[in-house]
Amino acid sequence: MKILVTAACAVFTSIGCAYAQAPEPASAPALTQEQQRTVDRLIDEGLEDDLAWELLESLTTEIGPRLGGSPAEARARDWGVAKLKALGFKNVRIETFEMPYWERDEESARIVSPFPQELKISALGNSVATPEGGVTAEVVRFRTLLDLQDAPLEGFEGKLIFVDEVMARTQDGSGYGWAVAKRSGAANEAARRGAAVALIRSAGTSHGRTPHTGNMRYEEDITPVPIAALSNPDADLLSLAMRRAGGPVNVNVNISVNTKTVVESGNVIGEIPGKTDEIILIGGHLDSWDLGTGAVDDGAGVAITTAAAKLIDELRGKPARTIRVIMWGAEEVGLLGAQAYAQAHADELHRHVLASESDFGAGRVWQFRTGFAEEDLPKAQVYQKALRRLGIGPGHNMAGGGPDVTPLRRAGVPVFRLYQDGSDYFDLHHTMEDTLDKVDPAALRQNVAAWAAAVYIASELEGDYRASDAE
């Protein structure tokens, strides 16, 4: 309908244009003038605010790497509680849950023949160990996971399966969506074929000799095969060695791990109580991988959302809705905190008006995406209008809301996402290079400003985002 009107305007005289520019119906949502002034003030203050940086520096320096279920993650929870309390958040608590634990012990790889030299690897989370001393096997290379899936089930017994699939660099990180499939996929396909061990080219875009780790899952009823990621330059190296060898290339992979059946993790929660018990849920995940200090993944998300909520708390009077900040536990190892929360809060999910997680680094926000009921889409324009001055444009309505929000989204909670520029995110993601120096303080402040504005609007704008027949 809108397209027709616009086309008419282009073709016909001023009558058509006048029709296209008719005022919006009175029911279109809008902020009051006072609310609009508050949004602008929050953005102005966010752009000057250094709390997010202070939190991120503190977390990465005083805690550092914080693998889900580890003693470091427990220290991070205590850190989160102390920070939220000091900042004046209410109902600060840890909601604990149990989880299995995995950590790497030692890992190494080397070409044994014909060109002996070391390869840089990182075991994937949940990988089983190799036998002591490692396993030496002839390498069979597959260009993609799909090629491996298409390969026969016989003829690979005792081999090293190498999936050399390259990940595309994109602004919105969509290249990761399909590249990440090889983490579990390569291990399971290798196991199905009786291979001895598997290596993948990292699901990441770093040019450094820094492998990208990440979680993987074995399917049931297979004999697990150990698996690690090669750094991109080392995947190049192995590929070139195979091209030049003129015969078999043999590689030794040595992985040892420690596991525990049950350890404790938890979600750290703090609130800015509103005038109603309706909830706007925001946050980032507190755990990180063990290789870097977890600055961009996801210390930044924790810092941005906490600082944004604090800015709103500094306004006079309570927000209309309660703003709940969650520092999610054990995200990297399987969204375990997210699942625990969705279960524990199942009976109050109807009071969750909107949910969102910041978990895509610390780049500038460039797009506002929604997961609203169609009938509530006009409300998205209120956010889009307010965020425009930050260089943030409108996005589609298929947002997932962020990893830890996934179970809530599935349960019908509407979501939004402030999409960050991820052009270089996957240079750092899950590597030892994920450190504080990679974060641009100005971009971090732009994030805080955008989050403060969006969360304030979510709190104050009347009406919800669910389809009316879903209530």
Nearer to Zn ion, 101 or 162 (CB): 101
Residue 59: both structure tokens together = 């977390």
Out of 49, 73, 164, 298, point to the residue binding Zn ion (CB under 5 A): 298
Q: Which is nearer to Zn ion, 49 or 290 (CB)?
A: 290
Residue 206 phi/psi, 5-degree rounding, is -65, 140
Q: Which is nearer to Zn ion, 172 or 298 (CB)?
A: 298
Radius of gyration of the chain (CA): 25
For Zn ion, how many residues bind (rule: CB under 5 A)? 4
**CA–CA dist 415, 353 (Å, integer):** 8
Residues 194-233 interacting with Zn ion (rule: CB under 5 A): none
- What's the rounded Cα separation, in Å, for the pair 91 and 80? 13
Structure-token pair, residue 342: 């969705």
Query: Would you say 254 or 288 has its CB closer to Zn ion?
Result: 288
**Stretch touching Zn ion by CB under 5 A, among 23-31, 56-64, 292-300, 406-414:** 292-300
- Classify the C-alpha dihedral 150-155-161-165 as positive or negative: negative
Q: CA 85 from chain center: how many Å?
A: 26
Please select the residue that binds Zn ion; options are 359, 376, 427, 460, rule is CB under 5 A.
359
**CA 123, CA 125: separation in Å to the nearest integer?**
6
Return the number of the residue (278 or 359) whose C-beta is nearest Zn ion: 359
Q: Judged by CB, which is closer to Zn ion: 297, or 433?
A: 297
* Minimum distance, C-beta of residue 125 to Zn ion, in the bound complex (Å): 10
Q: Is 406 helix (H, G, I), strand (E, B) or coil?
A: helix
Helix (H, G, I), strand (E, B) or coil at 333: coil
Backbone angles phi and psi of 74, in degrees to 5:
-65, -40
Residue with smaller CB distance to Zn ion, 359 or 427: 359
- Choices 248-256, 359-367, 409-417, 443-451 (CB under 5 A): range interacting with Zn ion: 359-367
Q: Rounded to the nearest whole angstrom, what is the least distance from the CB of residue 435 to Zn ion in the complex?
A: 15
Hey, is 392 helix, strand or coil? coil
Site string for Zn ion, 311-340 (x = CB under 5 A): ---------------------x--------
Buried b (16+ CB within 10 A) or exposed e, 445-464: bbbbbbbbbbbbbbbbbeeb
Residue 297 binding Zn ion, by CB under 5 A: yes
Q: Which of residues 62-101 bind Zn ion (CB under 5 A)?
A: none
Measured from the CB of residue 224, what is the shortest distance to Zn ion in angstroms? Answer: 22
- Positions touching Zn ion (CB under 5 A) are 297-298, 332, 359
